Amino acid sequence: MATLRFGLVCFAAVLLLPSWIALAEAEPASVDSIKDLVARLRTCWKPPPASRATPGIDITVVVSFNRNGNIFGHPKITYESEQATDNDRLNYRIAVMEALQRCTPMPFTEGMAGAVAGRPFAIKFHNRKIPPQPAEKRAWLIPKIL
């Protein structure tokens, strides 16, 4: 009797497992703090490839959200690294706007939604990836044994 009951429980668990997984994937983790907000935005950040822009550029955007987690108003770029060229600025601005599109609407908790609605946040994005340098040929440093 106990083995039959165990078998039924296992069978039910196997049947319900796909729905549990789908539910877990469908509901993104709620954003309950400013730290969570910044972390979520950074997960959406994909800097431009090194072939299109210079690595090592920083860019800061000021953005506000409404209670539903959508962008409120227009995001504003407030800082770009001074070594950025016009082409770099354009590529990084596009990357920031794409990151905001990927992350919104933010899944705010009820308390966080009321706290952040309409308030500006300055979010700094970094691209610290340095492209690999070609290996230098050091033939002139190879010791010669006489």
Give mean pLDDT, residues 94-106: 93
- What angle (nearest 5°) sits at the alpha carbon of residue 56, between those of residues 51 and 57? 90
- Alpha carbon 88 to its chain's center: 20
- In CATH, the architecture of 29-129 is 2-Layer Sandwich (3.30)
Domain boundaries, the chain: 29-129
Give mean pLDDT, residues 16-32: 56
Cα(103)–Cα(87) distance, integer angstroms: 25
The single-letter code of the amino acid at 69 is: G
Taking the model in full, what pTM does it have?
0.66
Cβ-based neighbour number of residue 48 at 10 Å: 20
Structural contact between residues 98 and 46, judged by C-beta atoms closer than 8 angstroms: yes
Give mean pLDDT, residues 24-35: 72
